[in-house]
Amino acid sequence: MDFDLADFALNYAMKLGAKYADVRLETTKTNEFILKNGVPQMAGFDRVQGLGIRFNSGGCFGFASINILEKEKIKRMIEKAVKVTSKASKIADSTEMSAEKAHEADYGVKQKISLENLSPGDKLNILFEIEKAIAATKVDVPGRFFSMADFYTEKYFVSSEGAKIVSRIPRVDLWHFITINNNGKTAQRYWQYGDAGGFEKIVDKNFPELLKKEVLTTDKMLRKGVKPPKDKIDIVVGPQVTGIMVHESVGHPYEADRVLGREAAQAGETFIAQDMLNTRIGSNAVNIFDDPTLEESFGYYLYDDDGVKARPRHLIKNGIINEFLHNRSTAAAMKTKSNGASRATAFDREAIVRMANTYVQPGEQTQEELIEGVRYGIFMNNFMEWNIDDKRLNAKYTGAEAYIIQNGQIMEPVFAPVIEISTPALWSAVDAVANNMEYHSGTCGKAEPMQAIPVWFGGPSMRIRNIKLGNKT
C-alpha cells in the first residue's frame, strides 16, 4: 500500500479547513468457495483497495471514500464532500470527539498455515470432506450448503492528531446450512465458525466430524422430538444460546449510539437509557464483557477505527449495568472516555459503535451440575430461529437441539421449544453460569449502508429459573 496517499488525503482535507480528519487506507484479499449439494459453485477471488476519509468541517462530520487511488480524483472527491458537509453544518448535530491519546502502532495476527500458500483445490477439499462425512451417516440430507471464505486485511489509519496505526489481520469463516428429511418432514440447522488467523483455524475444528454430529443430532430431534412442556420450568441453555442472548440483549442495547438515537431509523434504539448506568438489570450471577483484544478472535483488534486503544469492556458487573460501548463521539456526548468500540467493515464505510467479542463470564460449576439442579425443565443446547425487537426488549429463541430434563437427568429430545422473553426477565432469572466457556462467531448487521462485521459471542451454559416457554405458532 502507498501510505503516502493516505497522508496526502489527510493533509488535503486539513488544507480545506477541516478541524479534524482521519484516513483509513485499506487492502483486502478475499477468497470464497461454495459447495451446494456436492457441487462447487462459482469461487470468489477479490483484491479490494481504497481509502475512506472522515473530517469535521464547520462542526459537521463528513465521510468520503474512493477506490480510484489517484491524487487528482482523491482531491476532487474531498472537495465535493467538504462542500456538502459545510452546508450540512447549518442543521448538524454539533458533534465533538472525546480527547484521547494518539497512538502509533503496528500489529497483526500470525498464520500457522498461510492462506496464501494453499490452492483453491486445497481449500475446497475441506468442504468435500464434509460431504463425505455426511454421506457416511446414511441420514437423508437433501440440502447441504457450505460456504468458506478467507480474508486478509491490511489497514493504515492516520489522523490529524498524529495517530498512525498499521494492522494486518487474516480471518477465516465457514458457514453450513443443512436440511434433514424424514418422510417429508424436514428440520434445518445452520451455524457459522470464524476466527482471526490462518487456515489452521479451519483444519483444527475438524469440520467433517462436527457436521456429522450436527446431522445425527438434527435427525434425532426431527424423528424423536416431543412437544415442549407448557408449565413454568427451569431451562439450561448451552453456550451457543448464551452467546446469541448476550449479543442481542446486552451487546446491542449497550451501544451508546443507540442510546443516543443515532441508529433510530435503521438498527433501532434501545430500552436502555443513560441514567440506567449503575442500576440492576440481572442477577448477581451475571457478568458480561465485550473484549476486542481476545487473541485470534473473529472480532479482534488492538486499536479501533478512531485510533483508540482497545480494552475489555465490563458491560454488566454482578448484575449491574456498568458501562456502554463507546466511540469518541458518543463518549463526548456522555462526557466520558471512549472504550475503543469504533469499527467500520471496510474503507468505504463510516466507523460507528460496534461490538467485538461479547460474552458471559464463566462460573465454577460444570454444565452437568447446572442440569443436576433442575427437577423438571429443558436443556436447549442450540437454536435455529431467533429475533429481538429494535429496542432490544423482547427476544425469541427457538431451539434446534433440546432435551427434557427430569430429576437432574437429560431425557428425551424436545422439538423446537421457544423461549420468548423480555431482556430484564431473562437476566434476572439466571441463577448460575457454568465453566464450559465457548466462543462462537457471527456477522453482525448495523448501519446504512449495511455493515456486516465479524464478531464472536459466547459464554458458558446458563441456568434460567422458572420460565414459561412460548408458543411456536
Partner 1 sequence: MEKATIAKSLLDKFVKAGAGDVIISMVSEDASQIKFANSKIATTQSWAAEKAEVFVEVKKRLVSTTIRDLSEKAVYDAIQRIMKFANASTPNEDYRGIADGPFKYKEIPETYDSKIVQLADRSVDMTEEAINAAAENGAARAAGVLESSVSSRYILTTNNAEAEDKATRAYFSIRAFADKNASGHKVCNSRILSKFKPAEAAESAAETAKLAANPANGAEGKYDVLFEPLPFSNLLQQLGEAASIFNVESHLSCLAGKLGKRVAAESVTVSDNGTLANGFNSTKFDAEGVPTQKNTLIQDGVLKTYLHNTSTARKHNTKTTANAGLVSPAAFNIVLDKGKLNKEEIISNMKKGLIVTNVWYTRFQNYDTGDFSTIPRDGMFYVENGKIAGAVKELRISDNLLGIMRNVAAIGSEQEHVFGWEVELPVITPPVLVKDVHLTKSVA
**197 within 8 A of 208, measured Cβ to Cβ:** no
Which of 5, 7, 16, 8 lies closest to 50 in space, CA to CA? 5
Which CB, 128 or 376, lies closer to partner 1?
128
- We find the least distance from the C-beta atom of residue 374 to partner 1, in angstroms, to be 17
Give CA angle at 262 (258, 265), nearest 5°: 95
User: Cβ of 469: how many Cβ atoms within 10 Å?
Assistant: 22
**Overall size of the chain counted in residues:** 473
Which CB, 141 or 370, lies closer to partner 1?
141
Give CA angle at 195 (190, 198), nearest 5°: 120
- We find the least distance from the C-beta atom of residue 363 to partner 1, in angstroms, to be 22
Which CB, 137 or 361, lies closer to partner 1?
137
Beta-ladder partners of 192: 175
Which CB, 54 or 313, lies closer to partner 1?
54
Which CB, 136 or 264, lies closer to partner 1?
264
Question: Residue 260 gets which letter from DSSP?
Answer: T
Cα–Cα distance between 378 and 398 in angstroms, integer?
13
- DSSP for 204-239 reads TT-HHHHHHHHHHHHHHHHHHPBPPP-SEEEEEE-H
Cα–Cα distance between 222 and 273 in angstroms, integer?
43
- We find the least distance from the C-beta atom of residue 272 to partner 1, in angstroms, to be 12
Give CA angle at 63 (27, 257), nearest 5°: 100
Cα–Cα distance between 115 and 128 in angstroms, integer?
18
Which CB, 136 or 425, lies closer to partner 1?
425
Question: Residue 414 gets which letter from DSSP?
Answer: B
User: Cβ of 198: how many Cβ atoms within 10 Å?
Assistant: 24
- We find the least distance from the C-beta atom of residue 391 to partner 1, in angstroms, to be 9
Which CB, 42 or 364, lies closer to partner 1?
42
Which CB, 84 or 136, lies closer to partner 1?
84
- We find the least distance from the C-beta atom of residue 77 to partner 1, in angstroms, to be 5
- We find the least distance from the C-beta atom of residue 386 to partner 1, in angstroms, to be 6
Residue with cell 448484575: 319
Which of 463, 470, 271 lies closest to 375 in space, CA to CA? 463
- State whether residue 73 is helix, strand or coil: helix
Which CB, 52 or 362, lies closer to partner 1?
52
Reply yes or no: is the peptide bond before residue 449 cis, omega within 30 of 0.
Answer: yes
Instruction: Provide CB contacts within 8 A for 134, sequence distance 6+.
Output: 141, 144, 178, 211, 212, 215
Which CB, 162 or 261, lies closer to partner 1?
261
Which CB, 54 or 201, lies closer to partner 1?
54
Which CB, 441 or 451, lies closer to partner 1?
451
- We find the least distance from the C-beta atom of residue 377 to partner 1, in angstroms, to be 14
Which amino acid is it at 432? A
- We find the least distance from the C-beta atom of residue 445 to partner 1, in angstroms, to be 10
Residue 314: CA atoms inside 13 Å, Cβ hemisphere, count?
8
Instruction: For helices 3-15 and 71-88, give the axis angle rounded to 10 degrees.
Output: 40
Cα–Cα distance between 441 and 455 in angstroms, integer?
6
